[in-house]
A and B are shown apart, each in its own frame.
Chain A
């Protein structure tokens, strides 16, 4: 009887207890604060900084799906960012398409490219996969540079943002604050759903032992490509918003390896394969980076790089797993965890 009734229940539904209520309350309060911040507390430039933070939350979550859950460390996710940005800029500048139509088009391009690239590249594992994705991203950048009739080559392309030619009125710093906030929430929501679903379990199984996963009936090709496509979707949407925000885009900016490295580092430091880890990693590192840039302009990159190295060496499992472990043992277990990871 029990199996019959639970068979009809939707996946993963659990009773709502006090813990869920508290969590829901905190989330709701956080959302209200985030919604009110621009109007009452933040300067326009601070809103721009926050938009950058939200963008990296979305990028880190996008990477988390393929690099964290599926265990395929993509070093070319910026390719989706760049393609999403260029799709948007070209459609808005050359075809006069409104941003709200260019955005789903960019998302579709991200998904399509992820599937096309994923089918061959996801056959590789580990370092080989990382190198192949890096190579594809660099290759696409070169193609974009050379298609200058369409892309404007190295000098780039400018989205009509003001005046009579503007197809969608420029939303300004407050507008982009909300665009990127919505995207960060969408990305985190997607990751949350994945983490509780059969799809998420399948990806984790693939990450931990692909041969055993296939023997358990998991269509590993299909799941990996789906995770990559979802990653491409979120990343391309971020690129679309970024292109509109920046107005003028060029290949060196949209296909920068720095962006890939940042999303990887944020997800890893926060905690890959978790829902909240990439959020924590993106928020911490983006604020840190901004603060260093303002206060130590000359040494910014040097100090930022050093801090990342220390963080990865001390907390290779990520902040979230470290916090969970410490909580489980009711003590700060830094030394133990370091020992456990044989550093």
Chain B
């Protein structure tokens, strides 16, 4: 079976800085890939390269077997790909329902009419728990609701591949749990999901595999528990001294 997403030796340089350098992976249907890494690791750039908001300097992006490297964002959306933005991007002069309806009006699974798009928007708002605020202005939403809106806009496009850029940042534990539950249920429906998070803990429980990025490159790619125990990951996140102390403590425990 062809993978939903293949990323082959993808690179993007900004002048002398390699924001993403030689990253490769592939994602099968209904698979969830968690991408983690410290600030500036290239996580958002990776999403922007896949969705056509940035053009790669090298490498390929293949979606559903079709090479879409360098295609414009709306062409990527037509390949049934939806994304959220790390800094939420609501349409400020449209209300919450209309914001979501935009996603249902364009793209490959477009609704037949603006009215149908609004109806679909209401279904999605119900699902993300934002139904009561359908008539509100996006400017008045709190952090959690603004993130829900960002997610709803993407879901209204009925994507096969969903790219989430830090949708859980700034959320409280209970809200994170709800977001993880939603990701699990989307996966159960066969959606393929790439989740970028700064916070490692949230992501490990929903991801089939985890890609750890560091300074634009792949540091480790594996099962969540393997990644969590990998010394290079601990080092990248917490520094060399902490990693050494952890190793010493583990050896001590092993020796006893």
Binding site for B on A (CB under 8 A): 2-3, 6-14, 196-198, 201-202, 204-205, 208-209, 211-221, 273
Contacts and interface: CB of A to CB of B under 8 A. Distances in A.
Interface residues of B, number: 37
B74 A220 contact: yes
Given A7-B113, A205-B102, A273-B93, 5 more contacts: A13-B113, A205-B94, A217-B74, A217-B106, A221-B72
A216 B153 contact: yes
B91 A205 contact: yes
B103 A208 contact: no
A201 B153 CA distance: 14
A27 B72 CA distance: 44
A194 to B, nearest CB: 12
B91 A209 contact: yes
Given A7-B116, A204-B94, A216 B77 contact: yes
Given A2-B119, A198-B105, A201-B101, A12 B113 contact: yes
Given A7-B113, A197-B114, A201-B114, A215 B90 contact: no
A297 B154 CA distance: 58
A211 B111 contact: no
A300 B242 CA distance: 77
A218 to B, nearest CB: 5
B111 A212 contact: no
Contacts of B93: 204, 208, 273
Nearest to A2: B119
Interface in B30-53: 51-53
6 contacts: A6-B112, A202-B105, A204-B91, A209-B89, A215-B53, A217-B103
Contacts of A212: 85, 89-91, 153
A336 to B, nearest CB: 16
A215 B73 contact: yes
B119 A215 contact: no
B83 A6 contact: no
A221 B74 CA distance: 10
Interface in B106-139: 106-108, 110-117, 119-120
A214 to B, nearest CB: 4
B249 interface: no
Contact of B157 (A12, A216, A221): A216
B227 interface: no
Most buried by A among B92, B101, B114, B119: B114
B114 A216 contact: no
B231 interface: no
Given A208-B91, A218-B74, A13 B115 contact: yes
Given A198-B114, A216-B157, A3 B105 contact: no
Interface in B6-27: none
Contacts of B110: 198, 217
B14 to A, nearest CB: 18
A338 to B, nearest CB: 18
B119 A216 contact: no
Contacts of A9: 112-113, 115
A6 B119 contact: yes
Interface string B65-80: 0000000111001100
Nearest to A196: B114
B113 A201 contact: no
A14 to B, nearest CB: 8
A123 to B, nearest CB: 12
A305 B188 CA distance: 64
Given A3-B119, A196-B114, A208 B92 contact: yes
Contacts of B105: 198, 201-202
A316 to B, nearest CB: 14
A209 B101 CA distance: 15
